[in-house]
């Protein structure tokens, strides 16, 4: 592999596909198609999943 072909840093704000996906997700949230959840709910679900996995591993 040639050194010149390696991208050392990617700027997502210059990536058209990234920006299109970001806009689509924002549109879904703003239209009500997708609902968000609080950080507290995210952590509660993650902790519950970890507890379940730990119990299943025993």
- With CA atoms as reference, report the closest residue to 42 among 50, 54, 34: 50
The pTM of the whole model exceeds 0.85: no
44/51 Cα distance (integer angstroms) = 11
Q: How many CA atoms lie within 13 A of 37 on its CB side?
A: 8
Q: Is 5 left (phi over 0), alpha (psi -120 to 50) or beta?
A: alpha
The residue behind tokens 């040639």 is 2
List, run by run, the mean pLDDT of 10-residue segments along the chain (58 residues): 64 93 97 95 98 91
Domain ranges of the chain: 11-57
């Amino acid at each position: 592999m040639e050194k010149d072909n390696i991208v050392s840093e990617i700027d997502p704000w210059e990536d058209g596909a990234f920006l299109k996906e970001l806009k689509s997700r924002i549109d879904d949230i703003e239209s009500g198609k997708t609902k968000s959840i609080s950080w507290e709910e995210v952590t509660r679900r993650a902790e519950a999943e970890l507890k379940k996995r730990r119990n299943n591993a025993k």
